[in-house]
Structure 1
């Protein structure tokens, strides 16, 4: 039967591009000149760091919803392989302004989001890992406490790719 392996033939395993896309985003953000001096975290990290500016990949700091990636897979056309996968990687930009200047924290957070967008625009294929990756939705949250003004922009990187077999 077509599509089934012959006796003794090895069936290739299905593989998502999600792990490679996450690694590619972390590497691209860490190498970006516009993000020099900004700490790039790979997923959730427990830290007592006094870091004032950070970008997280695969984490937005939401304890109630720790989802890192959300997506779906569909069959592409009539072919048995590969499957098409579309997913959103949850990320965040965080800026803490120690003097409590909310406007400065917010403006810097959007400046860093612009740098992230520039990184994606320069290599939408993430080094050939996916078909296309681009900025998706975003939300701004602001907080003020004894440490200063915190601006957090949670955003998604929307990805369209073919799985590997």
Structure 2
């Protein structure tokens, strides 16, 4: 049995602990996305996987299986104010997106074993996309949580 379902639950709970007053989504967005959002298990693209896993057998033992996988996540901040006559401020959205990311990363560093579910969970890569929309700037940082775990037999 894979640890992926339990780890996704643990990462959602971790994001909620890091940012109790920020919208945290388990998977892709809904139609009601707030200005700041953290999405766990979501690549941001319908053509990319939300989790990519590799399972291997360790040494000569037939079980348990070692699983290594990447959970795609993102944080996004939108501070649209152009439609109200305000001046869009890309810097504010960038800073807020990275503030959300830093809070998540700090919480993950406190419990990189996710309560004993895994051997190690760490942030491994990130990429940032900044857009100017008709309603103001948005900054999205997609990041990967890499997990090493033993699947249950």
User: Is TM-score (shorter-chain normalized) higher than 0.5?
Assistant: yes
Q: 2:56 aligns with which of 74, 98, 111?
A: 74
Which residue in the other structure is 2:37 paired with?
54
Structure 1 residue aligned with 2:139, among 140, 151, 164? 151
Unaligned runs of 5+ in 2: 82-87
Normalising by structure 2, report the TM-score: 0.92
User: Aligned-pair distance for 1:133?
Assistant: 0.3
Greater fraction of residues in helix: 2
Cα deviation digits, residues 68-113 of structure 1 (max 9, x gap)? 1002011011111101000000000000012321111001111111
> How many residue pairs end up in the alignment?
147
Aligned: 1:38 with 2:22: yes
Deviation of residue 147 (structure 1)?
2.2
Matched position secondary structure for 1:127? helix
Whole-angstrom CA distance in 1 between matches of 2:141 and 2:42: 12
1:84 aligns with 2:66: yes
Cα separation, 2, equivalents of 1:153 and 1:44 = 15
Is 2:52–2:71's contact at 8 Å kept on the other side of the alignment? Answer: yes
Q: What TM-score results when the alignment is normalised by the length of structure 1? A: 0.85
- Inter-partner Cα distance in structure 2 for 1:61 and 1:52: 16
Q: Are the counterparts in 1 of residues 97 and 140 from structure 2 also a CA contact under 8 Å?
A: yes
Q: Secondary structure at the match of 2:115?
A: coil
> Which of these two proteins has the greater Rg computed from alpha carbons?
1
Instruction: Say what the alpha-carbon RMSD is for the aligned residues.
Output: 1.1
Displaced runs of 4 or more, over 2 A: none
Report the equivalent of 1:26: 12
For residues 73 and 123 of structure 1, the distance between their equivalents in structure 2, rounded to whole angstroms, comes to 23
